[in-house]
A = this chain, B = another copy of it.
Amino acid sequence: MTERIFNFSAGPAVLPLAVLEEVQRDLLALPGVGMSIMEISHRSKTFDEIIVNAESNIRQLANVPDNYRVLFLQGGASLQFSMVPMNLLPANGKADYIITGGWSKKAMKEAQKCGQVNVAASTESEKFTRIPTPDELRLDPEAAYVHYTTNNTLYGTQWQQTPTVGNVALVADASSDIFSRPLEVQKHGLIYAGAQKNLAPAGVTLVIIREDLLARSPQGMHTMLDYNTHVKERSLYNTPPVFSIYVMGLVLKWLLAEGGLATMAQRNEAKAALLYAAIDATEFYRPHAVADSRSRMNVTFRLPSEELEKQFVAQATKAGLDGLKGHRSVGGIRASIYNAFPQTGVEALVSFMQEFERTNG
């Protein structure tokens, strides 16, 4: 087997090794089927079982109530930035957006093409170093929905609690922390997530939508952009991304076998705590996010100079710690440590950080 390195990429990101091994084993022909997963019809009994089981495991993992529908779509969160307002924001309606980073802003930009948008809160003036406090939210009780981003990959911040928005439908972009901890589906109207961080290879987008919201989609919508199409056709209106859904199915089984979302939360908490402790132990490393807003998925920090940051990334890569360069909008270092990222990799990074500081501090 070719040697695998520690992959700190923000996404697409590391997948469980056991999942990769099963994909590899069955790649030429699924057992008893005689065809590769890449070759089977999406109308076949084999794929029907795969997608039905995937939905069932999502419902079990996240305690999805019966009045929510689970969809497997394409186009990533970026297409959801448009589909959400196209479907949920009425012609003369308005929507609240909570702005906590670049992805929130992109989501808002698409909504502005559909109707009136109110910035319910923004921490941009503080370089998105934190999540707004509950009393900072200027919510409109007549809004069609409130949109927020559960975790901000660029800045390394994360909502610690689901925001309280009264009777207005809460819409979450949960792309970068879905199923990394228990998810309060019942507090949301719609949750969407590009799957390529915690769930699957790129190419599939998970949508969980409360049934009553489906009635909002205007008449005459383009078929592929209407949530009702995909609800009615059980995500099989056209050929779905079969392979990505198959791998997601294996990841979901792995999540259940490992103990579910509570176990994931514990592990992710422990991994992040280890890394934040290493950052807090010295002045050499400076965290980007303020303590009570820190992400357990993306840990962002700076070094004393950009030159040192470059050296850090280059030497880490050589040491088998890959993908640590921060996003250009923040700079510095970003260590993404999703569900499948092993504790041993975090320990290796902490050792590397200590050694790097000793040599360069």
Contact = CB atoms under 8 A, between A and B. Distances in A.
A35 B7 contact: yes
A5 B24 contact: no
A67 interface: no
A40 interface: yes
Contacts of A82: 222-225
A214 interface: no
Interface stretch (A49-57, A90-98, A242-250, A279-287): A242-250
Nearest to A205: B74
A105 to B, nearest CB: 12
Contacts of A20: 27-28, 36, 38
Query: A interface, how many residues as a size bin?
Result: 35 or more
Nearest to A75: B74
A239 B200 CA distance: 13
Nearest to A323: B41
Given A28-B21, A29-B2, A224-B75, A38 B201 contact: yes
Q: Is the interface of A mostly helix, strand, loop or mixed?
A: loop
Interface stretch (A11-19, A307-315, A347-355): A11-19
A23 to B, nearest CB: 6
A10 to B, nearest CB: 7
Contacts of A224: 75, 78-79, 81-82
A128 B241 CA distance: 29
A294 to B, nearest CB: 23
Contact of A241 (B11, B35, B203): B203
B74 A74 contact: yes
A207 to B, nearest CB: 14
Nearest to A24: B27
A109 B86 CA distance: 19
Which of A20, A201, A204, A223 has the most chain B CB atoms inside 10 A of its CB? A201
B194 A239 contact: yes
A42 interface: yes
A222 B110 contact: yes
A94 to B, nearest CB: 18
Interface string A192-223: 00101000011110000000000000001111
Contact of A238 (B7, B41, B76): B76
B202 A242 contact: yes
A164 to B, nearest CB: 30
Contacts of A225: 82
A77 B237 CA distance: 12
Interface of A: 1-5, 7, 9-15, 17, 20-21, 23-24, 26-31, 34-36, 38-42, 44, 74-79, 81-82, 86, 106, 109-110, 113, 194, 196, 201-204, 220-225, 237-244, 247, 320, 322-323
Given A12-B40, A82-B222, A202-B241, 18 more contacts: A1-B28, A7-B35, A9-B44, A12-B242, A15-B39, A23-B38, A38-B247, A42-B202, A74-B75, A74-B241, A75-B75, A82-B223, A82-B224, A113-B220, A201-B242, A203-B241, A203-B242, A203-B244
17 contacts: A2-B28, A3-B34, A7-B35, A12-B40, A15-B39, A20-B27, A24-B27, A34-B320, A38-B247, A39-B201, A41-B323, A79-B224, A110-B223, A113-B222, A194-B239, A202-B242, A202-B243
